[in-house]
Amino acid sequence: MLPTPTTKPRFDDIFMDLATNLARRSHCIKAQVGAVLTRDTRIISIGYNGPPAGTHNCDEEFPEVGCPRDSKGSCSLALHAEQNAILYAAKNGSEVEGATIYVTLSPCIACARIIYSMKIARVVYLNSYAEYKGIASDEGVDFLRRFGVTVERYVPIQHHEHTGT
């Protein structure tokens, strides 16, 4: 009897699963975001949102309310997941030009500018920053698309059983 063929997961699925799991590492009490920076089928770097390493953990220092907010209502002390992944790659001399970044929340405008400046070619995101923030549009996505970066909302493949008819 021949073995039953199995469906191998796409790399998009693998990397988004990893980004989703990385988000669980975040010490932020407001939002947990994960990122995976890849080239071809290899991981260059990973990141999740939170304060710079060695400073503090929001869920421990500010357990009820989270860290102080900036003028836009965002965390004033945190680096975003994309920033952490890109900074770690740069710190270690990894080449990020032409890479793909997988993020559980679409990039804000500040992260979009960094992604564009670092010449990352493709962004795959799970959830909308605009929907999360209650704003009209995904400014970061709009910015990236305007300047030629491929941006895609992640959609998992639905597996259907074939009946043969």
pLDDT at 51: 84
| 47 closest CA partner among 110, 98, 97, 111 | 111
Contacts by 67-71, CB closer than 8 A, 24 or more apart? 67/28
Output 50 or 117, whichever has higher pLDDT. Answer: 117
The predicted structure's pLDDT at residue 5: 63
Q: Which of 159 and 116 is assigned the larger pLDDT?
A: 116
End-to-end CA distance of the chain: 22
Reply yes or no on whether the pLDDT at 163 is more than 90.
no
Strand order in the sheet with 122-127: 42-48, 34-39, 100-105, 122-127, 150-153
Task: Give all strands (DSSP E) within the chain, no chain letters.
Answer: 34-39, 42-48, 100-105, 122-127, 150-153
Q: Are strands 42-48 and 34-39 parallel, antiparallel or unpaired?
A: antiparallel
List active site positions: 82
Indicate the burial class of 93 (C-beta count within 10 angstroms; 0-12, 13-18, 19 or more): exposed
pTM assigned to the model = 0.87
Arithmetic mean of pLDDT, 132-142: 92
Examine the pLDDT at 135 and tell me if it is beyond 70: yes
Which pLDDT belongs to residue 17? 97
For residue 1, the model assigns a pLDDT of: 57
Burial (Cβ within 10 Å: 0-12, 13-18, ≥19) of residue 14:
middle
pLDDT at 160: 45
Percent of all residues in the chain with a pLDDT value above 70, rounded to a whole number: 91
Q: Tell me if 144 sits within 8 A of 117, measured CB to CB.
A: no
